[in-house]
A and B are shown apart, each in its own frame.
Chain A
C-alpha cells in the first residue's frame, strides 16, 4: 500500500526566513510520481510540481526547490526567503506511474509566515 507522511503539522516562520517541508513516502511500485500541492485559505489545491521516480535531480523554480532522495524515500520542499503569501497548507502526494492515477495525500503541513 502507498503511504505519505508529513510529520510537521504546522510551521511558523518570519518573512524572509527559509523553510523546509518534509515528506516521506512508502510504496512498493518501482515507478511512481511524487507531487506537491498548495492549498491556500480559499480551498483549492494548486499544483506545484510532479516528479517521476526515475528523475532524482533536484529542481528549483524561483524561490521554490525540491530535494528528491530515493534512498531515504523523501521528497522535501524548501521555500527560500518566505513571504506572507506563502501561508497555506502544503500537501505531498504519491501516485502510481502507470494506469489510472490515484493520488495518495499526506495530512499536510500548515505554513504560517508572519510579517
Chain B
C-alpha cells in the first residue's frame, strides 16, 4: 500500500538554527499539504500545493517558514531561524486531487532547545 514518506522522523535543534523537513507524497497525488500539530491540539494547515503551485499559505509564518515543491512531486518545508515555539509535529499529507481524501505521513517531531 502506497504511503506518504517523511524525513527525518525526529529533529532536535537549537533556536536560531535552520531546519528542513522533506515529504514524498503518494505517487500520482497532485495535492500536497503541510500541517503543524502542537502537543494536545489538532493539526493546522500551514501550506497547500496543487502540483508545484501554492494554493493556500495564509497560515504560514512567512518571515521564517518557506515551502517548495519544485517539480510538483516531493516537497521541502524550511524554518529559519527556528524558535522555541516551533516545537511541534510537522505532518505532510497528499491527495489525488483537491477534493479527494488526504492521507498523512508519519510526521517529523521537532524539538527546539
Residues on A facing B (Cβ under 8 Å): 4, 35, 37, 42-47, 50, 91, 93, 97-103, 105-108
Contact = CB atoms under 8 A, between A and B. Distances in A.
B45 A45 contact: no
B99 A105 contact: no
Q: Which of B31, B45, B48, B104 has the most CB of A within 10 A?
A: B104
A100 B55 contact: yes
- Chain B, interface SS category: strand
Interface residues of B, number: 28
Interface of B: 31, 33, 35, 40-45, 48, 50, 55-56, 89, 91, 93, 95, 98-107, 109
A52 to B, nearest CB: 11
7 contacts: A43-B107, A44-B107, A91-B43, A98-B99, A100-B55, A102-B56, A105-B42
